[in-house]
Amino acid sequence: LGMARLGSFFGGGAEFSSRHSHMILANIFGDFSAARSFMVKYRQDEDLGLDMHHDDSDVTLNVCLGKEFEGATLSFCGYFGQDDHRKHVHTYSHRVGRAVMHLGTHRHGADNIISGERYSLIMWSTGPYRQTEAYKRIAERNLHGEDKDEPDAICLSYTHDPDYGEYKAYPKGKSVKPASRRLHISRFTPGEAANKAMQLKVKGGDDVKAEEWSLAACKYKCAADYATSAASKVPPELLSALMLNEAHCRIKLGEDQAAVDLCTEALAREPSNVKALYRRAVASISLHEYGAALSDLLAAAKLEPSNKAVRAKIAECAAAAKREKENEKVLYTAMLGGGGNTIPHVAKKAGEITPSTQQ
């Protein structure tokens, strides 16, 4: 909700922000140079929560105004600039009519609401502290991703942490910021990057065993970033192996085009990699690109004539291509009026035809 909507609660609209917030914040915080007030709302069919972050304030006041709700707690971690900034400290449960006050540098996030609606008035204040050398030293440092110990999962931010994918799978539609990720990787020496790549490869393998495909895919992708940076400090075949491991996960997730792209990148490095040819073919079959799949499988069979999996997939690919041609023939015949009043229903899987009578 924007500031103009404040009137629905206080009868003053945006005027409340400019006048009352200064009065309230002055009484609570003392000397300050600026203040900003706004509303937030969480509900099931809108915003469920808010990712971990720091506020652009010196001090924040969060007042719960309603309504009835379950969940929507506020979790706090450490402070910006500290090596424990991703360690969980406390989870606060909102109550209507009560407020919580905290420093803007205190990492926090609004946990997902379970039911109902929660409205809160947020007041930010800034003051002379921003002009101090202590603040400037902290503000100019990007410490996201640097920790004394393993971060707590609840304190990770998919928006701000460039190493989020090393611990958790990104929410749908979210991904790492490339520039932020490059900056993070650059902090490690080639030797350190090599160790990180190998550690993440092992962790990704554990996720594969548990069939946690999204987690594994993220770890393999992050491991590949480190392997690229490590250069000669890792075995030359490691980067291709990580790409192909991620491709396997993408296939399991139904992200076939991503798998094709990964395999293509691996083949640019190792043109005779049978696993890359095979997995690209598997993904291509799912995309109904039978010609491309057959080409890869025949190339793989030439490299490894005794590979039973490749031979079986060639037969499967040829059969699927044949069925799809038959589907198309029946469909075209019906469209041209040569198939009576029966129109075939072509299922998602190639070759499956279920006739349905047109009403």
Token pair of 261 as six digits = 């792209």
pLDDT of residue 2: 33
Q: Which domains does the chain carry?
A: 12-131 (2.60.120.620)
204-240 residues labelled b (16+ CB within 10 A) or e (exposed): beebbeeebbbbbbbbbbbbbbbbebbeebbeeebbb
Q: What is the largest CA-CA distance in the chain?
A: 85
Answer yes or no: are the C-beta atoms of 129 and 30 closer than 8 Å: no
pLDDT of residue 18: 45
pLDDT of residue 203: 98
Q: What is the pLDDT along the chain (359 residues), one digit of tens a residue?
A: 333 344 344 444 334 444 555 555 555 555 666 778 999 999 999 999 999 999 988 889 999 998 899 999 999 999 887 888 999 999 999 999 999 999 898 999 999 999 999 999 999 988 877 777 877 776 665 555 467 789 999 999 999 999 999 999 999 899 999 999 999 999 999 999 999 999 999 999 999 999 999 999 999 999 999 999 999 999 999 999 999 999 999 999 999 999 999 999 999 999 999 999 999 999 999 999 999 999 999 999 999 999 999 999 999 999 999 988 888 788 877 787 765 555 555 444 444 434 443 33
pLDDT of residue 354: 43
DSSP state of 72: -
pLDDT of residue 130: 74
pLDDT of residue 15: 42
- Interval 80-108: pLDDT, tens: 878 889 999 999 999 999 999 998 989 99
pLDDT of residue 353: 39
Where helices occur in the chain by DSSP H, the ranges are 7-10, 14-15, 21-29, 133-139, 178-186, 190-209, 213-230, 238-252, 256-269, 274-286, 290-303, 308-335
Dist CA 124 CA 274 (whole Å) = 58
Answer yes or no: are the C-beta atoms of 313 and 279 closer than 8 Å: no
